[in-house]
Amino acid sequence: MTGNPSRREPGLRYQADERPPPALALGLGLQLTLLIVTIPILVPTIVMRAAGADEPHVAWAAFAAVVVCGGATALHAIRYGRIGSGHVMVMGSATAFIWLCIEAVEKSGPAMLVTLVIACALFQFALSARIAFLRAILTPTVSGTVLMLVTVTAMPVIFGMLTEAPEGSAPHAAILSAAVTVAAIVGIALKAGGALRLWAPVIGLAAGTAVAGIFGLYEVERVAAAPWVGLPVVAWPGIDLGFGADFWSLLPGFLLVTLIVTLRSISSSVAVQSVSWRRPRAVDYRAVQGAVNVDGVSNLLSGVAGTIPNTAYGISAPLAELTGVAARSVGIATGALFILLAFLPKALAVVLAIPSPVVGAYLGVLMAMLFLIGLKVLIQDGLDYRKGLIAGIAFWIGVGFQSGMIFPEQISTFAGGLLANAVTSGGLAAILMTLFMLATEPRRRRMEAELDAAALPRIREFLRAFAARNGWGDAMAERLDAVGEEALLSILQPDEEGGTPGRRLRLTARRKDRGAVLEFVVAPRGGNIQDRLATLADHGDETAAEREVSLRLLRHLASSVRHQQYHEVDIVTVQVQAPKAAD
């Protein structure tokens, strides 16, 4: 799909399914590459060197990480079957695994790391397959909180980068380079429009690098010494299938961190969806499943290749917000550039030679925008005092542990210091509080029936009995009756009023505050009801078809409607407030 960008809204010039000019896609892909490619180069290098691996292993681990991350980034955008998100999501080595990977290599060698990373990949495939059943835990509240905590974990590193400069350089060189980078990006993004806004990050990087070059911060010698084309010696470590004591002692930590980084990928997928379309859309959880599957594929390949696990970085969401381009072709270009750079040591040297203050300043701007995206995800599902309390406490727990302000001596030794990471500690706190909320909810009532219009009498009887059991009067019973009817008609497709063999409906009802929550679980088919409800605002009532009438009535009767689409099931959750007379 193409379009004339001059006729589009200024916010988003190219949404996910549109094709920008190839030069623009390549340029934005280069920006993402410049930001992220250093991670799969440096992180495996740090792990292998810290664990005492030899130089061939170090070079091979970094090369394999860049190639695998590039292929996985492209796979995200292409979305082949159930693998891929269909959005721009950039893969990079997962820093949360650094200490676990060092310990694994130190204890049992790189072959043990291969086995553990493959185990993590299989765990992620299992998480993706069952993600619909984790929906009550991995909520927008948890996802938004984790996104905001990602910026907390990144900021100490970023602030440290802002002052990094070679010994003997001018004392103000790093500060000026960082300041020029931020001023150029923010100034252009705030005041410029059209094509100039698209290139704000590149202009900022170029301006900051130029200032750094004047002060001698740019490593010209590194670029000159690097060969043009090269391939490291293959140093595959093999695989350890002994499953000894070391494997079982390390596996729980690896699986826990896998759960945390998977939650981060889910949050990143939700975030990038929120900025990839002009018209607000409900979160497509099939795309979220595809994102987790790419994590699994990426880690399976990383394990086989003998390098460390990967995760999706949410940096593409703030970049899309900044530039107004969310097209999938940017992700394909980014992946291709990753792979190309893996075979071009001189090009990698050009990227790695960009001074730390410049990169840190650029990342600081993007982290600020990522924090706002996390806040948007948190708010979009409705922020009541319970969700706000979970998010607030989890956020400050993460900040406290990350900054070493909460039991620093105990936390530094517990589980290898795992909880000292804000995403891990804050994310776990949000999950535990959400589990507590689920465990203390009122008892749920449930019924099942074939998915067809003939099930309506049973649904009415079930909902009236539910209203009576909760002490509600006729007004609430009639409202629940109407909501049940309109929800069923909205879920049914135009050609299945007589039923669809094999498709069943499970209706769950529970009390919440002074109202009720109804959950309709069916096999997936058709469009998203949330999106159809949003589209109704663009049509006049006089042109509404019979099915639109059901949607309009449902919107009028319910306080909220949420439709989560997965590959295995569709889940429509409807909240209904009791009339005051029924209180």
Concatenating the DSSP letter of every residue in 434-500 gives HHHHHHTSPPPEEEEEESSGGGHHHHHHHHHHHHHHTT--HHHHHHHHHHHHHHHHHHS-TT-TT--
Number of Cα atoms under 13 Å in the Cβ half of residue 282: 23
Name the nearest CA neighbour of 553 among 479, 467, 460: 479
For residue 502, what pLDDT is reported? 61
For a pLDDT cut of 90, what percent of the chain falls above it? Answer: 22
For residue 301, what pLDDT is reported? 96
Name the nearest CA neighbour of 9 among 438, 318, 324, 272: 324
Is pLDDT above 60 for 498?
Answer: no
Residue 554 tokens read as 């449902």
Long-range contacts at 410-418 (CB < 8 A, ≥ 24 apart):
415/253, 416/99, 416/100, 416/103, 416/253, 417/99, 418/99, 418/253, 418/256, 418/257
Identify the helix (H) or strand (E) that includes residue 311: strand 310-313
pTM listed for this prediction: 0.69
Extents of the domains making up the chain: 5-160+223-354, 384-440, 445-582
Phi and psi at residue 164, to the nearest 5°:
-75, 125
Residue pair 480/467 in contact (Cβ under 8 Å)? The answer is yes
For residue 183, what pLDDT is reported? 94
Is pLDDT above 80 for 346?
Answer: yes
- Parallel, antiparallel, or unpaired: how do β-strands 570-577 and 90-93 relate? unpaired
Long-range contacts at 576-581 (CB < 8 A, ≥ 24 apart):
576/476, 576/479, 576/480, 576/483, 576/515, 576/516, 576/517, 576/518, 577/514, 577/515, 578/472, 578/475, 578/476, 578/479, 578/514, 578/515, 578/516, 579/475, 579/476, 579/479, 581/473, 581/475
Residue pair 275/344 in contact (Cβ under 8 Å)? The answer is no
What 3-state DSSP class applies to 502? coil
| Residue 194 Rama label (left phi>0; alpha psi -120 to 50; beta) | left
Between CA 199 and CA 208, with CA 205 as vertex, the angle to 5 degrees is 135
**Mean pLDDT, the chain, whole residue set:** 82
For residue 116, what pLDDT is reported? 94
Cα separation of 175 and 221, whole Å?
23
Name the nearest CA neighbour of 198 among 441, 28, 426, 35: 28
Residue pair 13/324 in contact (Cβ under 8 Å)? The answer is yes
Dihedral, CA of residue 299, residue 300, residue 304 and residue 309, to nearest 10: 10
Residue pair 353/226 in contact (Cβ under 8 Å)? The answer is no
pLDDT tier at 427 (50, 70, 90 boundaries)? confident
pLDDT tier at 390 (50, 70, 90 boundaries)? very high
pLDDT tier at 182 (50, 70, 90 boundaries)? very high
Is pLDDT above 70 for 544?
Answer: no
SS3 percent helix, strand, coil of the chain, rounded to 5, is: 65, 10, 25
pLDDT tens digits for 447-485?
988 888 888 999 999 999 999 998 898 889 888 988 888
Mean pLDDT to the nearest integer, 560-568: 80
Specify the CATH number of the domain 445-582.
3.30.565.10
Mean pLDDT to the nearest integer, 320-337: 90
Is pLDDT above 70 for 547?
Answer: no
pLDDT tier at 541 (50, 70, 90 boundaries)? very low
Lowest mean pLDDT among 126-130, 372-376, 461-465: 372-376
Is pLDDT above 80 for 49?
Answer: no
544 or 429: which carries more pLDDT confidence? 429
Mean pLDDT to the nearest integer, 498-505: 64
